[in-house]
Amino acid sequence: MDIETLALHGGYLPDPATGASATPIHQTAAYAYDAADDLADAFSGRAPGYIYSRIGNPTSSAFERRLTELEGGVGCLSCSSGMAAIASVSMGLTRVGDHIVASGGIFGGTVSFFAKTLARFGVETTFVDAGSVDAFRNALRPNTRMVFVETITNPRMDVPDIPTIAEVCREAGAPFVVDNTVTTPILLRPGEHGADIVIHSLSKFINGHGNSIGGAIVDTGNFDWRNGPFEDIKLLAARAGKLAFLAHLRMLIYRDLGCCPSPFNSFLHLLGIEGLPMRMEAHCRNAQAVAEYLANHPKVTRVNYPGLKANRYHELASHLFGGRFGAILTFRTGSTKAAEAFIDNARLAQNLANIGDSKTLIIHPASTIFQEFSPADREAMGVPDDLIRVSVGVENVKDIIADFETALEKV
């Protein structure tokens, strides 16, 4: 089945007990068994079965099966947030003394997790230029246990060469983890380009309506857990095969961190995913039009969007994402004052700290998300003081452009 069909039908058959066509919300903490033996079998893994919703829940499982099919993976684990997914994967792959290579310019929460939180537990992260495969190669060490990239970094808008970095990781025996939040499986299935693990913040395009936080981890089946440097996962691989890493998380790291999703949020993510293929097409179409409009506007000094022909990553992005370039773009207005005037005068676009909503969102990153950094650091991170980030929504694009036109008049 193709992606539009999987988004609607993947992983769910009408409930055999009731015929319910929508996935029921199994709002329960635990699951009752008639016989002592049956619950013991569920605990030991001798028989499949739900035990407690911190470990698994049928509504969340339906979501996990659907995302597995959309990503073309072997299995999925859903989490309370994108950060929980990143924390679970990182803690599942590393121990004290291990090393991570991550691309620079990625989501601030992820940078903080690697550079601050994980560093407290003795795991060191080297950040490298997302646009340089050599930088990834040169940063690898014998104790590197994970290489991490985002498909399009935000807000720098760098596009890493995922297929080539995947080869470098394969040679080094280090799992390649790709955060596919901003492109979603509609634009890219990282597993088809050699990624081993795919991560999502569901809070963005997959939910699509800005109504709940969530995360997910998909194993693409590319990494051979029977070999490689992970002794505990190797042991599990004898029994769980390709699902060894996810079993390692569900039976240990994820279970112990307690970062399970709420069944109600899983229901909302399932609902969101149904319209994802259509929404992503509309997001990309609108973003392309808005980028071209801004690029021709006399008050805009620079537009950063991989869909523009002059963009450094245009060719690579075009190849990777099938001629679509996502919904996030940034532009510069010449001064902090001008950027703030634009935000103050936009009416349709909402000024808030999120991306991937169906509605158009704008933010001035320098005074908000990046306010804790010095102007010099911000410049290096690709966040000059006059930058505006836009997450282009699926409204009629004429209305988005009219709103921007009015706001730019006041700049």
Ligand X SMILES: *Cc1c(COP(=O)(O)O)cnc(C)c1O
Q: Which residues bind ligand X (CB under 6 A)?
A: 81-83, 107, 109-110, 150, 154, 179, 181-182, 201, 203-204, 213, 215, 355
CB of 259 to ligand X, least distance (A): 10
Number of H helices, E strands in the chain: 18, 12
CB of 247 to ligand X, least distance (A): 23
CB of 217 to ligand X, least distance (A): 12
Which CB sits closer to ligand X, 88 or 110? 110
Tokens coding 293 = 């409009």
Alpha helices in 34-144 (DSSP H): 36-44, 58-71, 82-93, 108-112, 119-120, 133-139
Q: How many CA atoms does the CB half-sphere of 89 hold within 13 Å? A: 32
**99, 171, 165: which is closest to 131 by C-alpha?**
165
| Element of type H or E holding 3 | helix 3-9
Contact criterion met (CB below 8 Å) for 391 and 355 = yes
Which CB sits closer to ligand X, 62 or 328? 328
Which CB sits closer to ligand X, 179 or 340? 179
Which CB sits closer to ligand X, 140 or 202? 202
Tokens coding 320 = 């990777």
CB of 214 to ligand X, least distance (A): 6
Tokens coding 288 = 């392309």
Angle between helices 263-274 and 276-295 (to 10 degrees): 70
CB of 313 to ligand X, least distance (A): 16
90 to 110, 238, 250, 410: CA distances (angstroms) = 11, 22, 14, 46
Which CB sits closer to ligand X, 242 or 364? 364
Alpha helices in 258-396 (DSSP H): 263-274, 276-295, 314-320, 336-345, 375-380
CB of 213 to ligand X, least distance (A): 5
CB of 321 to ligand X, least distance (A): 15
Residues 6+ apart with CB under 8 A from 367: 336, 340
Which CB sits closer to ligand X, 87 or 338? 87
Which CB sits closer to ligand X, 203 or 288? 203
Residues 6+ apart with CB under 8 A from 36: none
CB of 198 to ligand X, least distance (A): 12
Which CB sits closer to ligand X, 203 or 220? 203
Distance from C-alpha of 218 to C-alpha of 251, rounded to nearest angstrom: 16
